[in-house]
Amino acid sequence: MDGITAGNLKMVFGDFVAVRDVSFEVAAGEFVTLLGPSGCGKTTLLKMISGFLTPTGGTIHLSGVDVTRTPPEKRDTALCFQSYALFPHLSVLENLEFGLRQKRVPPAERRQRLDAVIDNLDLALHLGKLPNQLSGGQQQRVALGRALVMRPNVILFDEPLSNLDAKLRDQVRIEIRRIQRDFGLTAIYVTHDQAEALAMSDRVFVMNGGKIEQADTPEELYSAPKTSFVADFIGSANVLEADVTSTNGNGDVELSTPLGPLKANSGAPPMGRKVKICWRPEHADLTATGENRLSARVTHRAFQGHFTDLHLDDGGNGYRIQTNQPSIREGDTVTFSLRSDQIVLLEALA
Ligand code: ATP
């Protein structure tokens, strides 16, 4: 198969397990993001794919070839990371052609590859400059260009935008996606920024404690998280414990929760008699009079422009909702409905 296949990858440092039995497939041309909190093993996984770390166990195949023990320079991968790693004493052009010279690519082909990248990344006006004469965004483009001239099949990014300010990050994100498509690259991108992951990726692998908790499209992760960790990490969610009181073959589930009885239908049977459930603050509907009616007192209100964030308290149970009714005040009691298909069943409790 084209693309990347990892089978039971494991990385142990001393007696610390940084990556535990991780398996996945990334299709050729796919853009996948590894997302998770600091220390969850994202960079370690990326380094195993690029060859800078040899796994303690498991295998990596690139385009069907076992590269588990192949050194980085012999893999068809390029790595881009946040510090850019440009040679400070070399001009932009010299930085761009450095790898090509090292690989003894003949001059005519060198010229052709450089021209394509210089044109695509709009670098023609900067070729004679040194890296410290460029802005952060321009340096990032040169770093990308240096990777692209090598014509890799796989490009790996480790937090490439963390040195850029918010506005520039938005621009470079779009640029990275365009380039990845133009060059037909398979990409793995590491970030701990969930907005970046959701905006850029075909699929996101959410990592926690050295494992992939869920690998899905951004839309699936948001609407159908499988664990409370994912529900909490992607967007914001109200997570609570519930007892399953009845189920039927159509996926209808009745629940007893600290907020009262609730009905859920997320299309899948519950994982046990005692489960965690979640629902999104924006799904509270203050105008509907349908199922799952809840009432609570507003303890805090934060106006956010196009919506208002309300912190609620129901007999000691706190949670949040969002509304577009700006007239609600602290101390008011609000009543709202939740659709049963917006209540998601998560993992079973012991
Ligand atoms: P961040 O977002 O902070 O970069 P990360 O998810 O990329 O985090 P990793 O850099 O993969 O995390 O590290 C995973 C865990 O492995 C961390 O607890 C880290 O301290 C540990 N670790 C990484 N490299 C080594 C090493 N060479 N020796 C010992 N422990 C290491």
Q: What pTM, to 2 d.p., does this model score?
A: 0.88
In angstroms, the CA 45 to CA 26 distance is 14
- Evaluate: CB of 48 within 6 angstroms of ligand 1: no
Give the atom of ligand 1 at the shortest distance from the alpha carbon of 36. Answer: 6
In angstroms, the CA 313 to CA 307 distance is 19
CA–chain centroid gap for 247, Å, is: 33
| C-alpha dist (Å) from residue 179 to 11, 18, 247 | 31, 32, 49
Could you tell me whether strands 317-323 and 308-314 are parallel, antiparallel, or unpaired per DSSP bridges?
antiparallel
Q: Give pLDDT tens digits along the chain (350 positions).
A: 579 999 999 999 999 999 999 999 999 999 999 999 999 999 999 999 999 999 999 999 999 999 999 998 888 898 887 666 789 999 999 999 998 998 899 999 999 999 988 988 888 999 999 999 998 888 888 988 898 888 888 999 988 777 777 777 888 888 889 889 988 999 999 998 999 999 999 999 999 999 999 999 999 999 999 999 999 899 889 999 999 999 887 889 999 999 999 999 877 777 788 999 999 999 999 987 788 999 999 999 999 989 999 999 998 999 999 999 888 999 999 999 999 999 999 988 86
Count CB atoms within 10 A of the CB of residue 343: 24
- Can you tell me which residue has the tokens 């996926």? 251
Domain boundaries, the chain: 4-223, 236-348
In angstroms, the CA 14 to CA 278 distance is 38
In angstroms, the CA 186 to CA 259 distance is 46
| C-alpha dist (Å) from residue 47 to 18, 124, 231 | 12, 32, 27
Give the atom of ligand 1 at the shortest distance from the alpha carbon of 53. Answer: 27
- Evaluate: CB of 47 within 6 angstroms of ligand 1: no
Architecture of domain 4-223: 3-Layer(aba) Sandwich (3.40)
Torsion angle of alpha carbons 194, 198, 199, 200, nearest 10°? Answer: 100
Centre of ligand 1 from the C-alpha of residue 16, in Å: 10
Q: What is the pLDDT of residue 27?
A: 97
Name the region of 77 (left: φ>0; alpha: ψ -120 to 50; beta: rest): beta
